[in-house]
Structure 1
Amino acid sequence: MLVIGGGIVGLSTAYAITRAAPGTRVTVLEKEPGPARHQTGRNSGVVHSGIYYRPGSLKARYAVRGAAEMIKFCTEYGIAHAVTGKLIVATGREELPRLHALVQRGRENGIPVRELGAAQIAEYEPEVRGLAAIHVGTTAVCDFVAVARRLAEASGAEIRYGAQVVRIDRRPERGVAVRTARGDVVRGRVLVNCAGLHCDEVARLTGDEPEVRIVPFRGEYYELARPELVRGLVHPVPDPAFPFLGVHLTRGIDREVHIGPNAVPALAREGYGWGVVRPRDLAGTAAWPGTWRMGRRHWRYGVGELRRSVSKRAFAQAVRRLLPEVTEQDLVRATPGVRAQAVLRDGTLVDDFLIREGARAVHVLNAPSPAATASLPIGRDVARRALTVLGSA
């Protein structure tokens, strides 16, 4: 069995395969020199409760189950984590109906929530202001990079770093042969594509048409120079029209307070700054009809995100809606991330996890937040599909 991608989903899949089918030989191919170098290692470290996600969706089911399993995994293996709880705060009257809808959604997903009036917010966050809020006690933070490393060790799989996939030869009667940039050829009976930012490209290398394209969005973060202003996690009420949570405040396991991310188009799949431009990536994004349809549909939202990207003052203004004491001087640039957002041909942003199967292949084509939270149940699902494909090969 070949797994492409050494992020938390790929490593969780390898871990699940070796537990479900002991003796199965699994090789993980990761182009970077170590695990979790992209989406897994460049996020706010939140173990999401599942309150945001549509009841019955894969996101909802996997997040609720995955959050409990992630805390258990961290406890068992001594990985840094903390169950902090989270406030979701409405700062404008137009957000109150959406806040009340989140209360109902949380209850439908089996998540305990407490509704708070304006004065009660200070019980949890004395410096935060809002009209109303809800407290979600099951939200946590953890070190997802440490989780990925432990999954790699515990899986028993062969992990090959520096193994960038450049060609895939798939033959129904012989299995799959993968050539790396170094010229190595690795063979397996089934391929599992967990390539994240490059998953659609890997799918096309196998000969499967994924029917989506990855459009990269950079998330830019700041750290708070006065971390004492925030005790735990504070989120705004998200706009349900977008699969982004908005700028939020997160006290991580390092005790620092991370602010962000925003969401701006990246000029490369690994475009961690405006100066990183890869013409091939940019041309591929521009050639996909869904990119332009998405842009026409959501340009107003995009303008606001771009403004906060280029203007620290605008970013600070957004933060002050939740935390009035923040000044521009309190914001210190931190490590950015890039989200692998799958976009359909009609411009629809794929909101849920998207997993598809092909001949001798399983493709994970959309695994956005809360993928890290839900990585253990996602890994089992992908492993089950892969083993089914293996059994029928």
Structure 2
Amino acid sequence: MEKEKDLGIHQTGHNSGVIHAGIYYLPGSLKAKLCVEGGKLIMDHCDKKNIPYKKVGKLIVATDEEEVEYLKVLYERGLANGVKNMEFIESQEGIHKFEPECRGLKAIWSPNTAIIDFKNLAKSHANDFHDNGGEIRLRTEVTAIEESGRTDYPVRVVDRMKHVLVAKYVLSCAGLHSDKISMLTGCPRNPRIVPFRGEYLLLKPAKTKMVKCNIYPVPNPKMPFLGVHFTPRMDGNVWLGPNAVLAYKREGYSYLDINLLELLDSLTYSGFITLCLKNLKYGMGEMTRSIIWPLQVKKLQKYIPNIKIEDCSRGPAGVRAQALAPDGSLLEDFYFDKSRTGTLKDKVLHCRNCPSPGATSSMAIAKMLVEKMTKEFGLGELKKIC
């Protein structure tokens, strides 16, 4: 059941299109395990189904000595996570072998990082689903998930048009509305999705040759979001960014997209208030660069000094489906939830926090969910369709 007129309208169609290698994530976390596993599953699937992708690689670049120390931590993380064929680059000359325009002291080179159009992947999964007897109902917005009172189909799902579907089991993966959907079955209100919009710039076509691979920063552990990066796209464009600003609605891709109830929900949430107070200077800087986009170019010049304001233009935007705890901390790992009481606790499972690298991890997440539902809900053997 999909509320939009087509697949991949929101999270799938508004991400950076990168198949991540799994370097950034804490060893032992679901993100680390499922990203590494998921990247391989996706590329194997694409090879089998002739879905285009490109292994353009990624440079994670340190531009000062403090970043160099954390870069070493990232390299050890990558090794612990099982990332293959990483290379620690010790010099500017080494960086120039991969990116002649890029400036930095040291870097990590990840040759297995790739790019893809995730909407193509979603459509491939949909075709597999159809071929195996599945039906996808578009324009079907779920408004209730409740007990049906029946023993054969104990779950009752109602859409906005009051159509009813009964089911034995339900799995929800609702992205920006994942907390709201989980609440329909009695799950707690928090952690809450607070929508942060990420706005990109576009490198003008005449300048795209300046960027050959993904160029990523060393994350500042004191900051809530990663920071700007350079992302080649399958269509030949290069995306620059993103920033991170509060969206005025869950699916708010511009300042003109406003839902007053959803905005009020974000602004009055203790988690958002605490996050803002902890990161006031950072947040004001992001807002300023959002409104006056040429200021964003200064951030990019840290890595490619020759990039100029006239080389860039405003680009697309996405909204992060990021869960935020009441204490203002971002949920750093994938999180799944189910009802605590009643019949539905053994019938419904929710994907509640699957931000980046959620797309890369998607096939591994699916595999894990099959195992989880089989074990916790007592399902029999499920048919594998891809």
What TM-score, normalized to structure 2?
0.91
Q: How does 1:205-220 map to 2 (within 5 A)?
A: 205-220=184-199
Pairing 1:343–2:324 present: yes
Alignment-mate amino acid for residue 109 of structure 1: N
* Residue equivalent to 2:243: 262
Q: How does 1:48-197 map to 2 (within 5 A)?
A: 48-111=20-83, 112-116=85-89, 117-155=91-129, 156=132, 157-170=134-147, 174=151, 175-197=154-176
Alignment-mate amino acid for residue 79 of structure 1: I
Shift in alpha-carbon separation, 1:288–1:172, aligned structure 2, 3 A: farther
How many angstroms apart in 2 are the aligned matches of 1:260 and 1:76?
A: 32
Pairing 1:306–2:287 present: yes
Task: Provide the aligned C-alpha RMSD in A.
Answer: 1.7
8 Å CA contact 1:199–1:365 kept in 2: the answer is yes
8 Å CA contact 2:227–2:241 kept in 1: the answer is yes
How many angstroms apart in 2 are the aligned matches of 1:243 and 1:86?
A: 22
8 Å CA contact 2:148–2:166 kept in 1: the answer is no
Alignment-mate amino acid for residue 114 of structure 1: E
8 Å CA contact 1:177–1:186 kept in 2: the answer is yes
How many angstroms apart in 2 are the aligned matches of 1:389 and 1:135?
A: 40
How many angstroms apart in 2 are the aligned matches of 1:310 and 1:99?
A: 31
SS at match of 1:51: coil
Alignment-mate amino acid for residue 352 of structure 2: L
* Residue equivalent to 2:15: 43
What TM-score, normalized to structure 1?
0.89
**Once the 2 structures are TM-superposed, how far is the Cα of residue 242 of structure 1 from its aligned partner?**
4.4
How many angstroms apart in 2 are the aligned matches of 1:94 and 1:300?
A: 20
* Residue equivalent to 2:177: 198
CA deviation map 1:332-368 (0-9, x unaligned): 2222100011011111110100012321211111001
Alignment-mate amino acid for residue 113 of structure 1: M
* Residue equivalent to 2:252: 271
8 Å CA contact 2:187–2:338 kept in 1: the answer is no
Alignment-mate amino acid for residue 157 of structure 2: V
Q: How does 1:224-235 map to 2 (within 5 A)?
A: 224-225=203-204, 226-235=207-216
User: Which sections of structure 1, spanning at least 5 residues, go unmatched?
Assistant: 1-28
Larger deviation: 199-208 or 165-174? Answer: 165-174
Shift in alpha-carbon separation, 1:91–1:161, aligned structure 2, 3 A: same
Alignment-mate amino acid for residue 187 of structure 1: V
**Once the 2 structures are TM-superposed, how far is the Cα of residue 390 of structure 1 from its aligned partner?**
4.0
CA deviation map 1:173-221 (0-9, x unaligned): 6522111112211111222120010011011112221531100000101
**Once the 2 structures are TM-superposed, how far is the Cα of residue 385 of structure 1 from its aligned partner?**
2.5
Identical columns (%)? 38
8 Å CA contact 2:182–2:338 kept in 1: the answer is no
8 Å CA contact 1:176–1:191 kept in 2: the answer is yes
**Once the 2 structures are TM-superposed, how far is the Cα of residue 172 of structure 1 from its aligned partner?**
7.2
Q: How many residues align?
A: 365
Alignment-mate amino acid for residue 101 of structure 1: V
SS at match of 2:282: helix
* Residue equivalent to 1:236: 217
* Residue equivalent to 1:386: 373
SS at match of 1:206: coil
8 Å CA contact 2:144–2:157 kept in 1: the answer is yes
CA deviation map 1:230-285 (0-9, x unaligned): 11111111123445321111112212111111111111100101111101111222
How many angstroms apart in 1 are the aligned matches of 2:365 and 2:41?
A: 12
Larger deviation: 367-376 or 300-309? Answer: 300-309
* Residue equivalent to 2:349: 362
Larger deviation: 115-124 or 380-389? Answer: 380-389
How many angstroms apart in 1 are the aligned matches of 2:177 and 2:231?
A: 28
8 Å CA contact 1:46–1:140 kept in 2: the answer is yes
8 Å CA contact 1:344–1:350 kept in 2: the answer is yes
How many angstroms apart in 2 are the aligned matches of 1:243 and 1:49?
A: 21
CA deviation map 1:114-138 (0-9, x unaligned): 1221121110001111121111111
How many angstroms apart in 2 are the aligned matches of 1:382 and 1:86?
A: 29
**Once the 2 structures are TM-superposed, how far is the Cα of residue 97 of structure 1 from its aligned partner?**
1.0
SS at match of 1:374: helix
How many angstroms apart in 2 are the aligned matches of 1:73 and 1:245?
A: 29
Alignment-mate amino acid for residue 386 of structure 1: M
SS at match of 1:239: coil
Alignment-mate amino acid for residue 86 of structure 1: K
8 Å CA contact 1:31–1:162 kept in 2: the answer is yes
User: Which sections of structure 2, spanning at least 5 residues, go unmatched?
Assistant: 340-344, 381-386
Greater relative contact order (CA < 8 Å, ≥ 6 in sequence): 1
How many angstroms apart in 2 are the aligned matches of 1:243 and 1:368?
A: 13
Alignment-mate amino acid for residue 130 of structure 1: G
